[in-house]
Amino acid sequence: MPVVSTPVADSLRITFVVDEDVDGNPISPPIKRTRSYGPIDPSATDQDVWDFAVALVALQEYTAETIERVKTFELVGA
């Protein structure tokens, strides 16, 4: 049976490295926190998503370790 794959929505996932506590003391090992943003239109270009992610990271207190675009598809048997 053939399967039809249809893009549904994308999301943006950014992993931040938390390396200091609220008092500014180093944390060892650093803690990683992941935040998801979306939905993002599947027709948005990778460059647009990247630019959006860079703008979000600039507003954050912590350093970004990874920026990921997560694509979601609906699979339907024909």
* Domain parsing of the chain, residue ranges: 3-77
Q: What is the pLDDT of residue 23?
A: 86
What are 68's two structure tokens? 């990921």
Contact 16, 68 (CB under 8 A): no
Q: What is the pLDDT of residue 22?
A: 82
pLDDT tens-digit map of 57-72: 999 989 999 999 999 9
Report the percent of the chain where pLDDT is more than 90: 74
What are 61's two structure tokens? 């207190």
Check whether 26 has a pLDDT greater than 90.
no
Contact 64, 14 (CB under 8 A): yes
Show the beta-strand stretches assigned E in 1-78: 3-20, 26-40, 63-77
pTM confidence score = 0.81
